[in-house]
Copies of this chain bind each other. A is one copy, B any other.
């Protein structure tokens, strides 16, 4: 589309053509991970940081051999962290691991059942990470006041959950997402909760800059085909947002003229 040639997504001073960010968890194997991510068209890929499997098999394949930092923007996340300290330590290790790469996805979780963010701790961790020079994309609740605080302290992207991580419930509260979008000066992404293609389209139609997802692709029956669906769903939603939808009406409006009827 000529209209969209220049519609790039910018995060932390780098531009991207794709507005779909994907996770790397829950796939059957690295081959599936790689194929699905290629089908998704994603340019930013999030990874977790964990202890190496020492001693077991030093030659076992490594995720980054399949998803190369040369090709993708690797976005290390702090999944699994329940305190601000854990999250900051994880980011420091990630930056070292990725040769000084400073873009991170912060998540500080509240409990294991919901994986809902602990916003109090998230605010603390975000402030520290910004001070340490990170570009911080923040997984957060859909609380517009907290979102504003994160932006004010220097987060480079606000990423409210659509629904619980891995729930596939879609956008549970579009009103709050809209409030966040209206006030934000940095990109707002929906992160977590997308279950199928239309969920992603709706997020983009609301005006989100991009969407981050993992389970919706990895846990589809055919992850590679779903990755392709998501790529198109994101583009469809973005274009619909830019195109400006027709108004909703309570009554009908004929598509064919009344004049000229011969019957």
Contact = CB atoms under 8 A, between A and B. Distances in A.
A1 B123 contact: no
B115 A254 contact: yes
Contacts of A220: 240, 243-246
Interface stretch (A9-17, A66-74, A130-138, A226-234): A226-234
Interface residues of A, number: 106
A257 interface: yes
B164 A255 contact: no
B255 A226 contact: no
Given A26-B255, A119-B145, A172-B173, A245 B228 contact: no
Interface in A112-146: 112-120, 123, 141, 143-146
Contact of A257 (B48, B146, B167): B48
Contacts of A33: none
Interface string A229-263: 11111011111101111111111111111111111
Nearest to A146: B119
A216 interface: yes
Contact of A166 (B196, B236, B249): B249
Interface of A: 1, 3-4, 23, 25-26, 39, 48, 50-51, 53, 77, 79-81, 83, 85-86, 89-90, 93, 110-120, 123, 141, 143-146, 148-149, 163-169, 172-173, 175-176, 178-179, 195-198, 201-202, 205, 214-216, 218-226, 228-233, 235-240, 242-263
